Structure 1
């Protein structure tokens, strides 16, 4: 990607007016991820519909609960996003009966149970209660570069470091190609979760000193 386009990238906090763009980015990020493919049965017809239903339900509840979301903007387009769950809000989204109902309707009972089991296993692997979690994050394939991914994660780290008492950031992945990148960004592997045939690795980034702030995004 040309350097002049990279130079226009900026990070900001997103409000609910960006829900549609957030869903579109996350769909492109996750549709070929091995963990999601297992949880929502990619081998069975209707996989893309089930994946969209999960993302739609999670994003809707995330913004309804007014949880933070950091966006990476390239000019006026949302190129990347990280949904953040602050400490002590571990299953704030998945605890909602309305969210569970939407999940069952959109993905089916079996996939919903798989997803809830995965979330519970992830919570059980946390190093402490005082960590931020990134349940969904990524950069759209049209803008995928190490520089953009680094910029998005650095913005997340800076934002989370501002919260008193936070020990750091936790994320997880079942995609082996991301392992070296996360380690390069200062993440430490702290555990593994068996998700069917997929090994989901859990990473922790200790809270750094904040080097810059995330600016507020434009209202919609």
Structure 2
């Protein structure tokens, strides 16, 4: 990919109007994610699609309302990718806010809601302290992959992290070898291998 093309792109915080497109990018990226397949159940394809759309939508809107870092990567007005970071200043795991729980139960079911909360708890248990952030989502639009945008988006997240005086680092749970290599090559280190809802993965961590 031409570095001049990457350099003219910009990473900015998402607005409310950007959330719909961000949700679409995340849906395509996480459609075959092992955790969501296990948590939401893919026996019924239509049901899985509906649950995944709902889970991503509710997570995005909740993070937006809680003023967490939702970072969009743009070429002009066109969104190429998105990354969502949450800190432990917001309720996670079993302490998730009640309206998120209610909407998730109604759209994805109680079992799926529990699985997502359990994922939060597992990650929190392995982070160094309560001042660490979690990279909840990161994705590049399907048509823009394999162009170097993924690495640039990760670096934008790390820049955000390094600029936060109250954030001691950022963790991310990965289940695919390609994602593992991407994060390791951009300065993350492995904290531990963990099993979340029968899905094996690695918790990687970046220290500012």
TM-score by length of 1: 0.86
Q: Say which structure is richer in helix.
A: 2
How far apart, in 2, do the equivalents of 1:68 and 1:4 lie?
26
How far apart, in 2, do the equivalents of 1:64 and 1:166 lie?
20
Map 1:18-97 onto structure 2 (within 5 A). Answer: 18-45=18-45, 46-89=47-90, 91=92, 95-97=96-98
- Which SS does the other structure have where 1:79 is aligned? strand
Q: Which residue of 2 aligns with 1:14?
A: 14
Q: Which residue of 1 aligns with 2:148?
A: 147
Shift of 1:9: 2.2
> Does structure 1 conserve the Cα–Cα contact (< 8 Å) formed by 2:72 and 2:81?
yes
- Which SS does the other structure have where 1:186 is aligned? coil
- Which SS does the other structure have where 1:100 is aligned? helix
Q: Which residue of 2 aligns with 1:178?
A: 179
How far apart, in 2, do the equivalents of 1:202 and 1:115 lie?
16
Pick closer, same or farther for the CA change 1:148–1:8 going to 2, 3 Å. Answer: same
> Does structure 1 conserve the Cα–Cα contact (< 8 Å) formed by 2:190 and 2:205?
yes
CA RMSD in angstroms, aligned pairs only = 2.0
How far apart, in 2, do the equivalents of 1:140 and 1:190 lie?
28
Q: Which residue of 1 aligns with 2:207?
A: 206
Identify the range of structure 1 (87-96 vs 115-124) with the bigger mean alpha-carbon deviation: 87-96
**Cα deviation code 1:85-143 (max 9, x no counterpart):** 13433629961111011101111111111111121111111111121211111111111
> Does structure 2 conserve the Cα–Cα contact (< 8 Å) formed by 1:94 and 1:100?
no
**Cα deviation code 1:149-172 (max 9, x no counterpart):** 111111111112111142211111
Gaps of 5+ in 2: none
Shift of 1:197: 3.7
Q: Which residue of 1 aligns with 2:136?
A: 135
How far apart, in 1, do the equivalents of 2:160 and 2:48 lie?
34
Does 1 or 2 have the higher relative contact order (CA < 8 Å, sep 6+)? 1
- Which SS does the other structure have where 1:66 is aligned? coil
Pick closer, same or farther for the CA change 1:92–1:62 going to 2, 3 Å. Answer: farther
> Does structure 2 conserve the Cα–Cα contact (< 8 Å) formed by 1:41 and 1:47?
yes
**Cα deviation code 1:20-73 (max 9, x no counterpart):** 111111101100111111111122341010000100111111111121211111
Q: Which residue of 2 aligns with 1:217?
A: none
Pick closer, same or farther for the CA change 1:131–1:196 going to 2, 3 Å. Answer: closer
Report the count of equivalent residues: 207
